[in-house]
Amino acid sequence: MIAPRERIVRDALKLPEGERARVVQDLLDSLTPEACDLLDEASAEELDRRFAAWEANPSTGVPWSELKSQR
């Protein structure tokens, strides 16, 4: 039997990239500030800025696989 989290992730990965990004944003928005201590304020602001830029013009986005290959 698949655990609920694994099932959610499996199903989310079937969504188009833009929808997956929205799911991530919705999940992050649902967390308390204490749960988000993994990011400092500057990093969180940068993520918000980048997400807003992508929402304004999704064609400027770069696929994760491409970014990973640039490392």
DSSP secondary structure code for residue 64 in this structure: H
Task: Report how far Cα 27 is from the mean position of its chain's Cα atoms.
Answer: 9
pLDDT of residue 17: 93
* 37 or 56: which leads in pLDDT: 56
What is the residue extent of each domain of the chain? 8-53
How far apart CA 10 and CA 17 sit, in angstroms, is: 14
Confidence of residue 8 (pLDDT cuts 50, 70, 90): very high
21-55 tens-digit pLDDT = 999 999 988 988 777 677 788 888 998 998 899 89
pLDDT of residue 10: 94
Q: Return mean pLDDT, the chain.
A: 87
What pTM does this model have?
A: 0.48
